[in-house]
């Protein structure tokens, strides 16, 4: 069987896309491998969100080039494809910039991979590009299969918010919601093949409005109730949320649906109203706090995580202090923080008042230290408590690793086979990055 290796960069949507590419390529007999040296087909699923991520593509392609050359000497062909948002952003130029790439496929077109590969195998040397497809991608993909106890399920793609720093509306296009029945069927397939926890994905997941059987738009809250009926599905999550798109029905679902996990990724990006305005985020800090309060009223144990961008053009010391203040107010359970990275074609990249790199680096270090303090305190608050943990893998050290309802990593020593089981563990220790449990 020919071997397929995929290097996935970027967000959870890319992780989902990579699994679906592998599913699509099964019809040609491709089998996934972790060893890129033995792969007949190498794919990089790229991310364009930050300059650093795009730079990584170059170094990975260099490695792929060496593999191709060595295999060529052994008389073996190696096909190299570039997938994801870099392809969408650069278009045909991607083949000029990256000469060793045989196939370039955008995020809306990866269902065309089997056809592109077949064409490439017939006419070697021909270089092929597929970007936005007129076909609905999800209608052309094979049935989804779970690869373990947890699975991602894309329900929505694209975004109409146009935050001034973000490439997503240009790389993933405008908002699209998959129909309710398609989502329900895929969730059922994932459960039938071993998933007990599903994370619904969307660039702006709260805007999901997939049509029901009567052709009427549904809401995300209705989807939660529908999917909760699936027997065997024990846990439901969703990401990423735009703060002011969260409806009272979604908040209510957190109160009444036990399968809906008490965790939400709610990016604020900055604690300064002036910066939020410059980012074209349509809320103020107090609007955001209002959403946090409602979620906490519905589920007092709700864990909240966020994304932060430091060093956005024009960010003053005071703006940055305001960001630290919101970190202290919310006391985030987890967070992701980055230096602002100007992306070509976005309005923010044209702003004059760009922040020097040294200041961005300094602010990021201060912010990350503060975030880690909160994360550690949050995790330590569970010592002595008992949490239901879904065990998903065995580490190299022989411990079981899994997730609490609040998406904390939990380790446990056990001679039992706990794979895919939800087990009550008493938490005995905690660091900023994980918990230790005992049966």
Q: Interface with ligand SF4 by CB under 6 A: which residues?
A: 159, 161-163, 166, 168-169, 203-204, 242
* Sheet of 334-339, strand order: 263-265, 303-310, 334-339
Residue pointed to by tokens 């411990």: 399
* Selection from 30, 84, 83, 237 nearest residue 151 by Cα: 237
- Taking a C-beta distance cutoff of 8 angstroms, is the pair 169, 162 a contact? yes
Minimum CB distance to ligand SF4 smaller for 132 or for 162: 162
Query: Within the chain, how many helices (H) and strands (E) appear?
Result: 13, 19
- Taking a C-beta distance cutoff of 8 angstroms, is the pair 129, 87 a contact? yes
- Taking a C-beta distance cutoff of 8 angstroms, is the pair 402, 394 a contact? no
Minimum CB distance to ligand SF4 smaller for 41 or for 332: 332
Q: Least distance from C-beta 48 to ligand SF4, angstroms? A: 11
Q: Least distance from C-beta 26 to ligand SF4, angstroms? A: 30
Q: Least distance from C-beta 268 to ligand SF4, angstroms? A: 11
Minimum CB distance to ligand SF4 smaller for 30 or for 152: 152
Q: Least distance from C-beta 203 to ligand SF4, angstroms? A: 4
Minimum CB distance to ligand SF4 smaller for 204 or for 404: 204
Minimum CB distance to ligand SF4 smaller for 163 or for 196: 163
Q: What are the tokens at 318?
A: 């005071």
Q: Rounded to an integer, what distance in angstroms lies between the CA atom of residue 363 and that of residue 369?
A: 10
Minimum CB distance to ligand SF4 smaller for 310 or for 425: 310
CA 270 to chain centre: 20
In 3-state terms, what secondary structure has residue 366?
A: helix
Q: Least distance from C-beta 45 to ligand SF4, angstroms? A: 17
- Taking a C-beta distance cutoff of 8 angstroms, is the pair 413, 436 a contact? no
Contacts of 17 (CB under 8 A, 6+ apart): 8, 45, 83, 84, 107, 110, 154
* Sheet of 235-239, strand order: 150-154, 197-201, 235-239
Q: Least distance from C-beta 52 to ligand SF4, angstroms? A: 17
Q: Least distance from C-beta 402 to ligand SF4, angstroms? A: 29
Minimum CB distance to ligand SF4 smaller for 48 or for 68: 48
- Taking a C-beta distance cutoff of 8 angstroms, is the pair 172, 150 a contact? no
Minimum CB distance to ligand SF4 smaller for 98 or for 338: 338
Minimum CB distance to ligand SF4 smaller for 241 or for 404: 241
Q: Least distance from C-beta 167 to ligand SF4, angstroms? A: 8
Residue pointed to by tokens 């599903």: 198
Minimum CB distance to ligand SF4 smaller for 240 or for 436: 240
Helix (H) or strand (E) holding 93: helix 93-97
DSSP per residue, 258-311? TTB-SEEE---B-S-HHHHHHTT-S--HHHHHHHHHHHHHH-TT-EEEEEEEES
171: preceding bond cis by omega (within 30 degrees): no
In 3-state terms, what secondary structure has residue 111?
A: helix
Q: What is the DSSP letter of 143?
A: P
Contacts of 115 (CB under 8 A, 6+ apart): none
Q: Least distance from C-beta 335 to ligand SF4, angstroms? A: 15
Q: Least distance from C-beta 207 to ligand SF4, angstroms? A: 9
Minimum CB distance to ligand SF4 smaller for 197 or for 206: 206
Q: Least distance from C-beta 161 to ligand SF4, angstroms? A: 4
Q: What are the tokens at 380?
A: 């330590």
């Amino acid at each position: 069987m020919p071997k397929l290796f995929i290097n996935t960069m970027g967000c959870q949507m890319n992780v989902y896309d990579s699994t679906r590419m592998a599913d699509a390529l099964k019809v040609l007999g491709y089998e996934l491998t972790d060893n890129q040296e033995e792969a007949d087909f190498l794919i990089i699923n790229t991310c364009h969100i930050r300059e650093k991520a795009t730079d990584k593509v170059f170094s990975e392609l260099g490695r792929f080039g060496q593999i191709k050359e060595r295999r060529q000497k052994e008389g073996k062909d190696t096909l190299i494809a570039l997938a994801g948002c870099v392809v969408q952003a650069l278009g045909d130029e991607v083949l000029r910039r990256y000469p060793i790439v045989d196939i370039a496929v955008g995020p809306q077109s990866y269902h065309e991979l089997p056809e592109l590969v077949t064409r490439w195998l017939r006419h070697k040397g021909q270089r092929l590009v597929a970007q936005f497809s007129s076909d609905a991608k999800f209608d052309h993909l094979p049935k989804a299969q779970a690869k373990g106890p947890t699975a991602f399920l894309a329900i929505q793609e694209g975004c109409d918010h146009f935050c001034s720093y973000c490439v997503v509306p240009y790389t993933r296009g405008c908002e699209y919601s998959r129909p309710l029945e398609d989502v329900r069927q895929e969730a059922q397939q994932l459960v039938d093949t071993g998933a007990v926890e599903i994370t619904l994905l969307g660039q702006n997941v709260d805007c999901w409005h997939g049509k029901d059987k009567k052709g009427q738009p549904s809401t995300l809250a209705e989807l939660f109730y529908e999917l909760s009926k699936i027997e065997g599905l024990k846990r439901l999550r969703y990401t990423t949320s735009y703060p002011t798109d969260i409806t009272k029905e979604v908040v209510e679902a957190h109160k009444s649906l036990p399968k809906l996990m008490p965790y939400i990724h709610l990016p604020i990006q900055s604690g300064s109203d002036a910066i939020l305005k410059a980012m074209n985020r349509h809320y103020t800090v107090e609007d955001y706090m209002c959403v946090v309060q409602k979620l906490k009223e519905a589920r007092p144990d709700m864990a909240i995580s966020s994304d932060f961008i430091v060093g956005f053009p024009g960010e003053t010391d005071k703006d940055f202090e305001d960001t630290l203040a919101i970190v202290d107010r919310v006391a985030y359970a987890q967070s992701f923080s980055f230096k602002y990275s100007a992306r070509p074609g976005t309005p923010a990249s044209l702003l004059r008042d760009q922040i020097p790199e040294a200041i961005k680096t300094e602010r990021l270090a201060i912010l990350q230290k503060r975030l880690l303090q909160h994360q550690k305190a949050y995790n330590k608050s569970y010592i002595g408590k008992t949490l239901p943990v879904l065990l998903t893998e065995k580490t190299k050290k022989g411990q079981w690793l899994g997730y609490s309802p609040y998406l904390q990593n939990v380790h446990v020593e056990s001679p039992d086979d706990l794979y895919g089981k939800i087990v009550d563990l008493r938490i005995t220790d905690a660091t900023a990055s994980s918990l230790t449990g005992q049966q």
